[in-house]
Amino acid sequence: MNRILNRIIPHSGFIGLFTVIVIMALLFHYPIQIVDALTSEPAPGFDINIPIWRIIFEPFIGTLLFYLRADQPLLEFTILLFWIISLSLIISFTRILLNNNSRRSNLFLGGFLSWLKRIPLILSIWVGVLWFIIFMWLPANTIVNNQENTILINTHSHTEYSHDGIISQTGLQKWHKNNGFDAFFITDHNHHQKTMEAVKAQESGTLSQEPLIICGEEFSGSNHMTLLGLNRNFITKGLSDQQVIDSTHDDHGIVIVAHWFDGERKSIPYFINLGVDGFEIANQGAGLSYDRRIFKNIVKACTSNGLIMNGVTDYHGYGSTCFVWNALEIPGWHNMDMERKRESILNLLRQKDMDKIKVLLYNDRHVYNRSYAGLSPVYTLLSYFRTLNFLQILSWLIWLVMIRNISIKLTRTKKYKESLIILKMVSFVSSLYLLGHGFILQNKARDLTAYNDIYSEFSTIMLLCGGGFLIYTSILILFELKRKPSIKNQI
């Protein structure tokens, strides 16, 4: 029976998966679009670029990038782990039930123990993949701006000089360039001295001239607020909301209430009465899907009071994807010098002219109700298949054929049948990656103790996970090398 299953399941499984891909991509296709956040309608003048490297490695890179663009990526990725572990258990016991061996009770016990032995291996790979997509660059889809007099900016981002940032100023600039931005504000938490240094470095030619860096800060008051266009260094620690707003305006800056919808602390009228200039209506870091009633309340308040509505990435260095932009209409911007460019952006924000400011969102799926998050692995995978074009489908076909052929050859070898050697080797590599990256972050943490907490926290987690998984996997591999092949123990 096992021999029959080993021949039928790989063949039918690959064909079934490819059939689902084709059906979802062709019959239920969901076009990836750049949409206006206020209307949810496609925004004219903007396209999507799909990198060739993503297409070549679509089954591996495309699925990871789709998870990165989820409403709650960490939650969905954790639920995926639960599904993988559960399916592994179901598959193990299904094979036992289909086995004609009379000693089935012993097989059940052996199968359960074998499943328990796999769990640390699965965990090590899951953690390794999670850290990989957080820290490593992947060729993500990017926006294409076809409008001559429109630029793309981001008003909320963080470097490693924020307590929770994991990217350098240079790395942050490269990320914004890769994702189509012409300018961006660095808004590190509760200080902006280091950002002013970055602005001066760009003006002197030490940093790249594009995209343009503008000084800002994120103030943690009764609600977080981004202070944009700061020219002088002043300390915000210990100041009240009103004092910070007044100090920013005295410096000719702009104050935007950040992700108010994520907590709803003080009321919207409270901030309007203090004199803020606007509210964020979309925040990539806080999740794009929130109560539409709250969204409409923010929009109504901003429209009624002539305030700015903007969307932000709130980027801290996690992952390579971007799905929020602000499009500003500034004729002749590309012919301006650096100082005039900064001032033209700030002037438009000060004018609060929403006819010349558009919030753009990358749209590649319907966002489900978060109460159904437990079903996200199925929904996310099917939603991903719906977005594929012909070349991406072709990439899936080629890889499925290659993997199937390799699988058939491996299942004919006794060594593969008797062990989890491939799973163990992947786990071993994942453990080494976690351990090595942990040491790298530990070194970075030493130089940023006055600003950064997350490097130290992450390095501790990675060193403990990497070291523990490495010891466990190494012991299993050593036992495997010493054990003699025995087909009789195969389940």
What is the pLDDT confidence band of residue 237, given thresholds at 50, 70 and 90? confident
Distance CA 105, CA 112 (A): 11
Single-letter code of the amino acid located at 319: G
Q: Which of 93-102, 311-320, 399-408, 469-478 has the lowest mean pLDDT?
A: 93-102
Residues 327 and 430 in one domain: no
Residues 134 and 184 in one domain: no
Residues 164 and 306 in one domain: yes
Residues 207 and 314 in one domain: yes
> In this structure, is residue 32 part of a structural domain?
no
CATH number reported for the structural domain that contains residue 207 in this entry: 3.20.20.140
Picking from 132, 133, 138, the residue whose alpha carbon sits closest to that of residue 51 is 138
User: pLDDT tens digits, residue range 307-327?
Assistant: 999 999 999 999 999 999 999
User: pLDDT tens digits, residue range 440-476?
Assistant: 999 999 889 889 999 999 999 999 999 999 999 998 8
pLDDT at 105 over 70: no
Range 40-43, long-range pairs (CB < 8 A, 24+ positions)? 40/363, 43/327, 43/358, 43/360
Q: What is the chain's alpha carbon radius of gyration, rounded to the nearest angstrom?
A: 26
What is the pLDDT confidence band of residue 79, given thresholds at 50, 70 and 90? very high
Q: Is the peptide bond before 211 cis (omega within 30 degrees of 0)?
A: yes
Distance CA 145, CA 44 (A): 10
Q: Do 184 and 211 meet the contact criterion of CB atoms below 8 Å apart?
A: yes
Picking from 159, 23, 121, the residue whose alpha carbon sits closest to that of residue 473 is 121
Q: Among the three residues 303, 338, 363, which one is the final residue of a domain in this structure?
A: 363
Q: What are phi and psi of 332, to 5 degrees?
A: 75, 10
Could you tell me which residues come within 8 angstroms of residue 230 by beta carbon, excluding any fewer than 6 positions away?
192, 195, 196, 215, 216, 217, 248, 251, 253
Single-letter code of the amino acid located at 154: N
Q: Do 158 and 189 meet the contact criterion of CB atoms below 8 Å apart?
A: yes
* Torsion on CA atoms 405, 394, 367, 13, rounded to nearest 10: -30
According to DSSP, the β-strands at 224-228 and 254-257 are antiparallel
Residues 201 and 336 in one domain: yes
Picking from 351, 338, 37, 327, the residue whose alpha carbon sits closest to that of residue 154 is 327
Say what the pLDDT of residue 215 is. 97
pLDDT at 110 over 70: no
Residues 332 and 348 in one domain: yes
Residues 190 and 297 in one domain: yes
Residues 266 and 191 in one domain: yes
According to DSSP, the β-strands at 254-257 and 278-283 are parallel
Strand partners for 185 = 214
Residues 431 and 314 in one domain: no
First to last CA, the chain: 11
* Residue 62 structure tokens: 């495309």
Could you tell me which residues come within 8 angstroms of residue 274 by beta carbon, excluding any fewer than 6 positions away?
241, 242, 245
Rounded average pLDDT over 128-139? 94
Q: For the purposes of burial, counting CB atoms within 10 Å of the CB of 205, is it exposed (0-12), middle (13-18) or buried (19 or more)?
A: exposed
Residues 104 and 198 in one domain: no
Say what the pLDDT of residue 477 is. 82
Query: How far is it between the farthest Cα atoms of the chain?
Result: 84
> In this structure, is residue 38 part of a structural domain?
no
Q: Is 319 left (phi over 0), alpha (psi -120 to 50) or beta?
A: left
Range of the domain at 118: 51-139+374-411
> In this structure, is residue 245 part of a structural domain?
yes
* Residue 80 structure tokens: 């995926």
Single-letter code of the amino acid located at 77: F
Say what the pLDDT of residue 353 is. 93
Is the pTM higher than 0.75? The answer reads: yes
Residues 99 and 186 in one domain: no
* Residue 402 structure tokens: 């290659």
> In this structure, is residue 17 part of a structural domain?
no
Residue keyed to tokens 């039930």: 97
Rounded average pLDDT over 412-417? 53
What is the layout of strands, in order, in the sheet containing 183-186?
A: 33-36, 357-363, 324-329, 150-154, 183-186, 212-220, 224-228, 254-257, 278-283, 308-312
pLDDT at 368 over 80: no
Q: What is the DSSP code (8-state) at residue 46?
A: E
The number of domains in the chain is 3
Residues 338 and 387 in one domain: no
User: pLDDT tens digits, residue range 189-221?
Assistant: 999 999 999 999 999 999 999 999 999 999 998
Say what the pLDDT of residue 307 is. 97
Distance CA 136, CA 65 (A): 12
